[in-house]
Amino acid sequence: MSRIAEIEALPLRISEKTVWIFLKVVDDDGLTGLGEATLPGREAEVSALLAEQRPALIGVSATPAPLKAPIPEQSIAEAALSSALDQALWDLRGQRGGKPVWQLLGITQRREIPLYANINRRTVDRSPAGFAASARDALAVGFTRLKLAPFDGLTPALAETDAGPALIDAGVARITAVREAAGADVRVMVDCHWRFTEATADRTIDRLAEIGVTWFECPIPETAESLDALRRLRARSNARNMQLAGLEMSTSPAALRPFLEAGCYDVVMPDIKYIGGFAGMLAAGTLCASYGVGCAPHNPTGPICHAASLHAAAVLDGFDLLEHQYDESPLFDTLVGGKLPKHAGEASKLPSKPGLGLALVPSLVAELTERT
């Protein structure tokens, strides 16, 4: 039985606003497994947690936990670290067995993974024209499902003040520009990053429906106190032919259950970086399916998360769509030597190499390492 011989966090500076965090696990046979723990703005916390836990991890089994193991409640930083460790251990298991991870996870339900393009982070020019240009670029490579997060500067505290209407209007103008650039047949999806109150979200639904938005994501903070509000917003969205989506920052399948029981969402978005790695993601998919709710993994960060999400999507119950972080940086491809499966139109083939199927380019790791 192989054991963990070395474990290291690799925070890599990708752009002025982006750091991707990877976890590198080396076993005593010299194999290297990778996971992703990207947690924006909290890179130092993840690295500190690993430094604290590292002595206890060296020498333990490099075999991943059973897929149905319970995933305990954790802080988001603890969840990021444990989820990355799970990804890396599955990567090692696949390499040892000579098989891609998806072949080890369960019954394969799909061999092509439908994607939508998140154009938000690549849009540096935040004007309506900048968003329209990003939409046209994504359309040119075959995407017909586009997501943006247009409500810059809005917060729940500002939403119902005198400043709120102008910030909401600016967001609506960006969405309108995307719709005009994309045409009527393209699916336009909107991420709100919890920036609204119930009342302002409710009023915005009608405006988005007029533009033809079909996906309304994370409109208000997701707390135990917001369950009734979210259920009402779902009903309002559905009445205007929109799905309500959310729960991307959940740290365990158990954390999803109150929202599923309350009927808050049409689509739940677990992230393999926080939900508990493969074990948590597959449990989340099964739970969502039991409530008749779609499972659309959140996936807006780096290439290791993307690869892990592809593997999970192959076997995931209740699967809907996979987010694809479109063109924020060429490092998405070059950092892993161009080995990610290429999307054809808006679907991706599954990785075919053993494990996750990726390795980081050492020279780029050395160049980009962020000291925390």
Q: Average pLDDT per run of 10 along the chain, which is 372 residues long? A: 95 96 97 98 96 95 80 87 97 98 97 98 98 98 97 98 98 98 98 98 98 98 98 98 98 96 98 97 97 98 98 98 97 98 91 98 95 58
227-239 and 198-211 helices, crossing angle to 10°: 20
Q: What is the dihedral of CA 328, 330, 336, 341, to 10 degrees?
A: 80
Q: Give, in order, the Cα–Cα distances in Å from 277 to each of 104, 267, 305, 351.
A: 14, 19, 10, 17
- Tokens in use for 306? 């993307």
Q: Scan for tokens 């029981």, then name that residue.
A: 261
* DSSP count for the chain of H helices, then E strands: 13, 13
Domain over 104-349 is classified CATH 3.20.20.120: yes
Architecture of domain 4-98+360-368: 2-Layer Sandwich (3.30)
- Print burial letters for 27-55: b (CB count within 10 Å at least 16), e (below 16): beeebbbbbbbbbeebbebbbebbeeeee
For residues 288 and 311, give the distance between their C-alpha atoms in angstroms, rounded to a whole number.
18
Would you call 361 exposed, middle or buried from its count of C-beta atoms within 10 A (0-12, 13-18, 19+)?
middle
pLDDT at 262: 98
| Each residue's pLDDT tens digit, 182-212 | 999 999 999 999 999 999 999 999 999 999 9
Domain residue ranges of the chain, discontinuous segments joined by +? 4-98+360-368, 104-349
* Per-residue pLDDT at 83: 96
Domains 4-98+360-368 and 104-349 are alike in CATH topology: no
pLDDT at position 344: 84
> How many other CB atoms are there within 10 angstroms of residue 166's CB atom?
12
Length of the chain: 372
Q: Which of 80, 26, 142 is nearest to 301 (CA)?
A: 80
pLDDT at 66: 79
- Tell me the torsion sign for CA atoms 96, 19, 156, 170: negative
Under DSSP, the state recorded for 370 is: P
Q: What are phi and psi of 230, to 5 degrees?
A: -65, -40
Structure tokens at 269: 């978005």
Phi, psi of 79 (to 5 degrees): -65, -40
Cβ atoms of 313 and 282 closer than 8 Å: no
Task: Taking each helix axis as running N to C, give the angle between helix 277-290 and helix 76-97, from 0 to 180 degrees, rounded to the nearest 10.
Answer: 100
Place of tokens 């999307």: 343
Predicted pLDDT at 74: 85
CB 32 within 8 A of CB 24: yes
Tell me the pairing of strands 112-118 and 145-148.
parallel
